[in-house]
Structure 1
């Protein structure tokens, strides 16, 4: 049994990928500690099932301003200037600042493996590993250099340099998709990256989307799954609803009150207020069961950055495992996934006429895109979370072959 420290830059109360990995490691017999930031009303320390959570206050601007020489200048009329300077420095300094806050806490539990999620956590993991001779695994959730919104030019160069430096020092690297992995492998100069898809845990849900909407099985229903906010394509798809007869459109996921109000006003202006709903987020292991029975799933990600163009989002797998036909914007690896599994079509979402036509046709021809037993078996063997967890545990086992001993 190993002691594994998982390091993440959020409170880890809803980060499905991190929580699933932590639970998989614990179920495999490892002792698992998750280190995250304090927030979202979560306690600073708790035991959640087999996983222990440690949450530490993380205020990078405050940490930076407390350091010399800024601390000596942070007074009187010059204070606003210092505040402005500190804000400009945080995007460059946050990696080292995160380490200053977290490395000592991580090293304090004397881990064998430190699993760092996203680039901001890697320096802290490497610094902690020096204190206890642990092995570090970097989990790249996306292409850090190509995040959205895009980094300014100088920050992009800085991020690329840091990721290359840290990514060559760690013992192992995981990422979320094959094409992201290809770009990252070239960037890091490594050929040993592992792909662990962000597949869902499939549990039962006591509720059902059609029941929540109060509609019968014969009402055409297409769904969007994921964070509901402006810029994610929900508003653009909503604009098409007047052209889709009596179809219902539901967005399922976290949504703030302002966005919900804006979308509902838009629906009312389009005279489709009764055919659009924003439904609340569910526990991540209930989403697949909840959305079963929808007719079409919409993936409206815009390929505005390379990270988005190559994305393999959890919503793709949630829709697939619910066996809902998928219509997606033209994104490289999603295109390959739909061709491989025969469960959807690609269309340019900027071509509204083509998009309306494709949604209408797929609603009529949905049986053609529903996977049969053999296709579902292939999907499970290639992409299920159970298979991704097996790859994760195998990666941990490889790191443990020469198990380090903490000083």
Structure 2
């Protein structure tokens, strides 16, 4: 890589790995941008959502989205005939082909019917020929409808075969146990072979880039990064590996309800965790869980997903005004929720509370295209509160804080799931920097923080009565809760600038021969507490 005299040479090459499309993942974006601003040569590899490779710049970092074919992601039963559903189409596209063929036939019959009608109106068809033509069209239309239903039935059976199996049968449990006993932590190769799809898509690109350090985000990318490190070692190259654990794997509710998912992914994580030279995570509680889960010598370092305070592009337009987007004035009480929309996020409780909060409006800054969001809007309409629910799209992550600041209260009604209990989530920090009083459910870490700082109220998760109480209390005295943000050092510690220093210290410890960052003081910073050094197994 060539550099002109005005551009300092990179301090080393860092390849970051994530199993999503990067957009919408503020933590990954901020880490990549901060590392590149500190002088590292950063390439962020993500997953293309549509199979098309894409490239763009994120500050000084390069982002590349890779296609990830998934042939191993599909289970073998999807390719076999089902005794329970004998009429099901086999996988491979035949169902889609037949359905499209029937649609084409029916479209053709509509045109032919129109032609017969036109010819009859013009006097070209009459009497017996006209009746025979119409009878023939009716027979074909009936046949097309019957074939359409037949294709629909066989396609439905195919989908039952493909998606209906829950992998909870005694056979599946026995299968899982057998491979666990036979292969130990290598059992994921049999239980979740789809993890190889990530390796085959990302691995060659990582090898081609020849990084000095790999920053692997979350559990799927840990294996990709560890195997790349092993291959580099076989060539005589030293590559450092940072594992950034966003969630506690045993606390995830598997999206596929079967006996294999969690044991397979835990085995995969256990196999490759020892190869990490440093472990980072999102909270002290999660760090303690990871230390116990993997027998780590030290707790992982904590890198909070705090809001970026200096990542706004120079040519960026001013953020939209939240109240203007909702069409309300400055004196109207306004609650805001920003983030993912899903039942476990507790948004149903917010909508149910609206009839009991007269005059209060609610802004949901979410993905408005989700069916779940549509159901929330329908529920608000049935409750007579449709005019007080406002569904708004996301804004760029550097605009989130000023955008949210137009509200009166930030709400986090999240349900009590294991991974929800152990972290201060992104929106918590965003509400704080927007200086919003908060109302949070009684998930452990956030509830304890709010009670300690006094920045809001806590309610029982899923309890609409208690949610109404908490919102009413905050709206009655918002100034008292906002005053919590005047506490010296509170918001300063919840900034991305502070977190970027932790990240830089980890990188500099793992790559001690790299030159210092531009404009940095010559002495290297001390090793941050919890930046774990692991010894790979032999």
TM over 0.5: yes
CA deviation map 1:382-402 (0-9, x unaligned):
221111111011111111126
Deviation at 1:81, TM superposition (A): 9.0
Segment drifting more, 73-82 vs 357-366? 73-82
Structure 2 segments unaligned to the other structure (5+ residues): 1-10, 84-88, 93-157, 168-188, 233-237, 515-538
Task: Specify whether residues 39 and 64 from structure 1 end up closer, same or farther in structure 2 by C-alpha distance, changes over 3 A only.
Answer: closer
Partner of 1:222: 335
Deviation at 1:46, TM superposition (A): 3.2
Partner of 2:499: 388
CA deviation map 1:351-393 (0-9, x unaligned):
3222212211211111110035642x42233221111111011
Partner of 1:115: 215
Distance in 1 of aligned mates of 2:162 and 2:23 = 33
Partner of 2:284: 178
Asked if residue 19 in structure 1 is aligned to residue 130 in structure 2, the reply is no
SS of residue in 2 equivalent to 1:55: strand
How many positions carry a matched residue from both structures?
A: 395
Task: Specify whether residues 75 and 54 from structure 1 end up closer, same or farther in structure 2 by C-alpha distance, changes over 3 A only.
Answer: same
Distance in 1 of aligned mates of 2:472 and 2:498 = 35
SS of residue in 2 equivalent to 1:286: helix
Q: Report matched runs for 1:289-308 at 5 Å.
A: 289-304=402-417, 306-308=418-420
Deviation at 1:77, TM superposition (A): 9.2
Partner of 2:269: 163
Deviation at 1:307, TM superposition (A): 1.0
TM-score (norm 1): 0.88
Asked if residue 349 in structure 1 is aligned to residue 461 in structure 2, the reply is yes
SS of residue in 2 equivalent to 1:6: strand
Distance in 1 of aligned mates of 2:323 and 2:190 = 46
Asked if residue 10 in structure 1 is aligned to residue 20 in structure 2, the reply is yes
Q: Report matched runs for 1:4-403 at 5 Å.
A: 4-39=14-49, 43-60=53-70, 62-63=71-72, 80=90, 92-132=192-232, 133-149=238-254, 152-190=258-296, 191-202=298-309, 205-304=318-417, 306-371=418-483, 374-375=486-487, 377-401=488-512
Segment drifting more, 21-30 vs 11-20? 11-20
Distance in 2 of aligned mates of 1:21 and 1:290 = 22
Residues 138, 174 of structure 1: 8 Å contact kept: yes
Deviation at 1:154, TM superposition (A): 4.1
Deviation at 1:76, TM superposition (A): 8.8
Deviation at 1:144, TM superposition (A): 1.4
Residues 95, 124 of structure 1: 8 Å contact kept: no
Residues 3, 32 of structure 1: 8 Å contact kept: yes
Partner of 2:111: none
Task: Specify whether residues 277 and 395 from structure 1 end up closer, same or farther in structure 2 by C-alpha distance, changes over 3 A only.
Answer: same
Distance in 2 of aligned mates of 1:361 and 1:102 = 51
After TM superposition, the runs of 4+ consecutive aligned structure 1 residues lying more than 6 A away are 73-79, 81-91
Distance in 2 of aligned mates of 1:268 and 1:301 = 23
Residues 5, 35 of structure 1: 8 Å contact kept: yes
Deviation at 1:277, TM superposition (A): 0.7
Task: Specify whether residues 91 and 282 from structure 1 end up closer, same or farther in structure 2 by C-alpha distance, changes over 3 A only.
Answer: farther
CA deviation map 1:304-331 (0-9, x unaligned):
3x11221321111111111101111111
Task: Specify whether residues 385 and 90 from structure 1 end up closer, same or farther in structure 2 by C-alpha distance, changes over 3 A only.
Answer: farther
Structure 1 segments unaligned to the other structure (5+ residues): none
CA deviation map 1:275-308 (0-9, x unaligned):
111111110111110011311111011013x112
CA deviation map 1:188-235 (0-9, x unaligned):
111140111111124584311112112222111111111233442112
State the superposition RMSD in angstroms. 2.9
Deviation at 1:259, TM superposition (A): 3.2
Task: Specify whether residues 310 and 365 from structure 1 end up closer, same or farther in structure 2 by C-alpha distance, changes over 3 A only.
Answer: same
TM-score (norm 2): 0.68
Residues 51, 66 of structure 2: 8 Å contact kept: no
Distance in 2 of aligned mates of 1:75 and 1:212 = 52
SS of residue in 2 equivalent to 1:239: helix
Residues 337, 410 of structure 2: 8 Å contact kept: yes
SS of residue in 2 equivalent to 1:165: helix
